């Protein structure tokens, strides 16, 4: 077994900078968890507190049920791969890979077996006795991964291990990591800014923003059932279109989302998931409508919209009722007047103030078996950031 549990983990630096806030996470055995987020979202900090490279300010960390919050990194049975290879330049490949085992007093026989087995898996057998300076970037990163692999730990932590490599090498090493995870017994936790990487390899994905966990879920659930507007925006390329400050109008002809001339009918499956509809219908309370580019198509033989810019023959910018939307196009679509077909069964609705989803899950949601993370509202996030900025400013004055 190899499992991890974080309970209410906070990380606040002495400067007053908030790096993690109320991080809660539970993994299963042999999961491949991917952490995504923009710069300074807390991805690396989350890995470093799990590894013990950073102390937590509050909360607890458990590995296989054992509280390791106060344990040194060497006592946590984890291995970490950084975005830079961090190899020892004076040691050859074999000794770099064997370093951790030697520090743990493993027998020469075990070291020989594990290093050569890992080298075979990673395609390093022919360069075991070369120094790092003679290796390519991809080879050095393979050695760094191999150094983690030979340890056979319970947790493998990978902090943007493919950063800086070209697309071909990234694809090559990503396949190596995927195959390794299938072979090994431990749980993998992998941080990246690259959404494509995350969606390719993650059994579940952690979406982070400003040190807070927004949602932890499968790729499909994140795409179809985002808990808030930020997750909806982050998951998907091109990004989702938002119609801000819209209202809900209910008439004998159905339920609509409207903003000025822009008006879209909600399909029955969307209305049935809108459990607080009475609170919004005909009350003027504002909502945010989300339309994914894949769910709206510009068609040449029609009117009511205008394509202003085509992109790569697949997507276009389209002016529709006072809004600019990125939408799909058919093969023959060109700039000019068109008809816009929106899939009314595939709409997203968020409260304009909290930014939280207003649509409940239906039968299409795939349960993960883990407790849901409850995200902060937009106002709570803003207040949190404001509070810690004030504390940081006070510390600077002192």
Instruction: Give 33-83 pLDDT, tens digit per residue.
Output: 999 999 889 999 999 999 999 999 999 999 999 999 999 998 898 999 887
Q: Say whether pLDDT at 344 is over 60.
A: yes
pLDDT beyond 90 at 393: no
CA distance 56 to 77: 18
Give pLDDT, residue 389: 72
SS3 call for 98: helix
Angstrom distance (rounded) from CA 374 to CA 76: 28
Q: What is the mean pLDDT of residues 247-273?
A: 97
What is the bridge-based pairing of β-strands 187-192 and 18-26? unpaired
Using only the alpha carbons of the chain, give its radius of gyration: 25
Q: Which two tokens stand for residue 138?
A: 């991809």
Is residue 269 within 8 A of residue 345, CB to CB? The reply is: yes
Instruction: Check pLDDT > 60 for residue 162.
Output: yes
CB 243 within 8 A of CB 289: yes
Average pLDDT, the chain: 91
The reported pLDDT for the residue numbered 112 is 93
- Is pLDDT at 308 greater than 70 in this prediction? yes
Statement: residue 200 has pLDDT above 90: no
For residue 1, the model assigns a pLDDT of: 60
**Backbone region of residue 207 per phi and psi (left: phi > 0; alpha: psi in -120 to 50; beta: other values):** beta
What distance in Å separates the CA atoms of residue 216 and residue 224, rounded to the nearest whole number?
Answer: 13
Distance CA 79, CA 290 (A): 40
The pLDDT value given to residue 280? 98
* CA 227 to chain CA centroid, nearest Å: 13
What pLDDT, on a 0 to 100 scale, did the predictor assign at position 173?
83
- pTM for this predicted structure: 0.92
Is the pLDDT reported for residue 247 higher than 90?
Answer: yes
What pLDDT shows up at residue 390? Answer: 61
pLDDT, position 396: 58
């Amino acid at each position: 077994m190899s499992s991890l549990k974080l309970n209410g983990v906070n990380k606040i630096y002495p400067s007053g900078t908030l790096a993690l806030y109320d991080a809660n996470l539970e993994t299963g055995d042999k999961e491949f968890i991917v952490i995504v987020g923009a710069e300074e979202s807390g991805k690396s900090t989350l890995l470093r507190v799990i590894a013990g490279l950073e102390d937590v300010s509050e909360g607890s960390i458990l590995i296989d049920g054992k509280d390791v919050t106060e344990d040194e990194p060497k006592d946590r049975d984890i291995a970490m791969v950084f975005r830079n290879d961090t190899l020892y330049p004076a040691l050859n490949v074999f000794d770099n890979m064997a370093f951790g085992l030697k520090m743990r007093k493993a027998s020469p026989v075990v070291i020989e077996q594990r290093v050569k087995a890992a080298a075979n898996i990673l395609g390093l057998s022919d360069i075991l006795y070369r120094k790092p300076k003679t290796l390519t970037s991809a080879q050095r990163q393979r050695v760094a991964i191999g150094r983690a692999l030979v340890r056979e730990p319970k947790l493998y932590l990978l902090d943007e291990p493919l950063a800086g490599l070209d697309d071909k090498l990234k694809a090559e090493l990503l396949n190596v990591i995927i195959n390794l995870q299938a072979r090994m017994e431990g749980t993998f936790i992998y941080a990246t800014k690259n959404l494509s990487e995350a969606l390719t390899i993650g059994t579940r994905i952690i979406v982070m923003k400003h040190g807070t966990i927004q949602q932890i879920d499968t790729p499909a659930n994140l795409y179809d059932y985002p808990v808030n507007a930020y997750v909806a925006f982050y998951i998907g390329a091109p990004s989702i279109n938002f119609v801000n400050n819209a209202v809900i109008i209910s008439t004998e002809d159905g339920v609509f989302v409207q903003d000025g001339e822009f008006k879209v009918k909600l399909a029955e499956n969307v209305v049935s998931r809108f459990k607080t509809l009475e609170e919004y219908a005909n009350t003027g309370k504002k909502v945010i409508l989300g339309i994914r580019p894949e769910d709206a198509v510009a068609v040449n033989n029609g009117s009511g919209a205008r394509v202003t810019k085509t992109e790569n023959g697949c997507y276009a910018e389209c002016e529709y009722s006072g809004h600019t939307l990125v939408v799909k196009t058919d093969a023959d679509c060109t700039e000019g007047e068109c008809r816009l077909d929106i899939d009314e069964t595939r709409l997203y609705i968020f409260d304009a103030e909290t930014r939280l989803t207003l649509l409940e899950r239906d039968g299409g949601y795939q349960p993960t078996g883990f407790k849901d993370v409850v995200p902060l509202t937009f106002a709570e996030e803003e207040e949190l950031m404001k509070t810690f900025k004030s504390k940081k400013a006070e510390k600077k004055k002192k």
